[in-house]
Each structure stands twice: as structure tokens, then as C-alpha cells.
Amino acid sequence: MTPSRLRRPVRSLLTAACLSLAIPALTACSPVVVDRGYIFDAKDLDKLQAGASKEQVRTIMGSPSTVSTVDGEAWYYISSKFETVAFYRPEEIERTVAAVYFDKTEAVQQVAYYGLEDGQIVNFVDRKTPTRGKELTILGQLFGNLGRFNNQTSGGPAGGPGGGR
């Protein structure tokens, strides 16, 4: 065998080894997308109309993700899409909320749709202790005591009768 014929199998073997190592490394960095919560079907959402009963809504949409805590007059169907890249924390990239509002007769009054941009993040546990008092800047702390000292002639422990002179 000639040396050039020996190099071809070695070269193809090295190429195959590099590809077999590169493909898993590249796919490990691709994001993993996970759907959580209620999976919306556009046909079901179109069936919801004002005047429908709670039972009709439950038949069409199923059980709600959550119910309002005040009088139970609103049902919420919540869906979220999370993306995880490598070892980082999952990040919510999409949220859809269908809110079905009922009137006093338990009939659908209104159906509203909200997205991720409509929400506010509320952190119930901050792990921070709130401090009491004013939040002062450096300049506020430095100049805040100006004029608060006792006057030498006002009579007090330093300059008045029986004072320290």
C-alpha cells in the first residue's frame, strides 16, 4: 500500500470522530422549550360567548387553572412557555391567560385575553428585611445634621448656667 492510501482511512476516521463529538456539543446548547398549564385550542376559545353558563364553559374549556378569590366570579385559564438554555434557569418566554368573567346570574359576562406583557412580577418572598426610617443619600446624611446642634448661648449643658466652662 502506498502512503496516500493509508492516509485516506485515517482522515475519514478523524472526520467521523470530530463530527461525533461536535454534534452532541452543538445540540447541548440548543434551548429546550416546555409548555406548562392549559394548552389553548383556538376553536374552543371561539366557542365562548357572552351569556353562556359556567357549566357550558366547563364543558368547552375544562376546569380552570385558578378561580378568583373574591366571589369566584372569574375563571382563569393560564398557559406558559418556558425556555431553558444549557444549565441556566428556565425563563418564561410566553404567557397566555384567558379570563372568563361571570355576572351575578353565573352567565359569561366577558372573555378577556392577556399576555406576558400585561402581567407584573410580584415577589412574595424577597429574603430582604425592610429597614425603618428614611432612605438617605450620602449628601443627605452629611448635610442632614446641619443646624441640629445646640447653640452655645441657649443654656444647656455646654454653655448655659452651670455649664461646662
User: Mean pLDDT across the stretch 35-57?
Assistant: 86
Structure confidence by residue, pLDDT tens digits, 17-27: 666 666 665 55
- Residues 74, 96: Cα–Cα separation, whole Å: 16
Is the per-residue pLDDT at 2 higher than 60?
no
> For cell 353562556, what's the residue?
52
pLDDT of residue 120: 73
**What is the model's pTM?**
0.56
Q: Which domains does the chain have, with CATH numbers?
A: 30-117 (3.30.1450.10)
- Under the banding of pLDDT at 50, 70 and 90, the label for residue 75 is very high
Is the per-residue pLDDT at 144 higher than 90?
no
